[in-house]
Amino acid sequence: MLAETIFDAMDVNDRGSIHLAEIDSFNGSVFAGMDYDENRRISLDEFSQWDPGFQPIAEELGRGEAYVTAQKIMFAFWDRDGSGELNEAEMDYATRADFRRADANDDGLMTKDEFFEGYPVVIAMRATIRPDL
User: What is the tens place of the pLDDT at every residue in 101-111?
Assistant: 999 999 999 99
User: How confident is the model at residue 131, as a pLDDT?
Assistant: 82
User: How confident is the model at residue 61, as a pLDDT?
Assistant: 93
Residue 133 has pLDDT above 90, yes or no: no
Q: What is the mean pLDDT of residues 2-20?
A: 90
- 12 confidence band (pLDDT: 50, 70, 90): confident
User: How confident is the model at residue 71, as a pLDDT?
Assistant: 94
Spatial CB neighbours of 131, under 8 Å, sequence gap ≥ 6: 63, 66
* Half-sphere exposure (Cβ direction) of 76: Cα atoms closer than 13 Å: 6
Residue 130 has pLDDT above 90, yes or no: no
- Write the pLDDT tens digit of every residue in 52-95: 888 998 999 999 999 999 999 999 999 999 999 999 999 999 99
- Write the pLDDT tens digit of every residue in 30-59: 999 999 999 999 999 999 999 888 899 899
- At 101, phi and psi to the nearest 5? -65, -40
Give the whole-angstrom CA distance, residue 43 versus residue 86.
7
CB atoms within 10 A of CB 50: 15
Question: pTM of the predicted model, to two decimals?
Answer: 0.85
C-beta separation of 113 from 96 below 8 A: no
C-beta separation of 53 from 45 below 8 A: no
- The mean predicted confidence, pLDDT, of the chain is 92
Q: Where are the alpha helices (DSSP H) in the chain?
A: 2-10, 20-34, 44-49, 54-60, 64-78, 88-102, 112-118, 120-129
* Cα Dmax for the chain: 39
Domains and CATH numbers, the chain: 2-129 (1.10.238)
- 98 confidence band (pLDDT: 50, 70, 90): very high
Residue 1 has pLDDT above 80, yes or no: no
C-beta separation of 128 from 67 below 8 A: yes
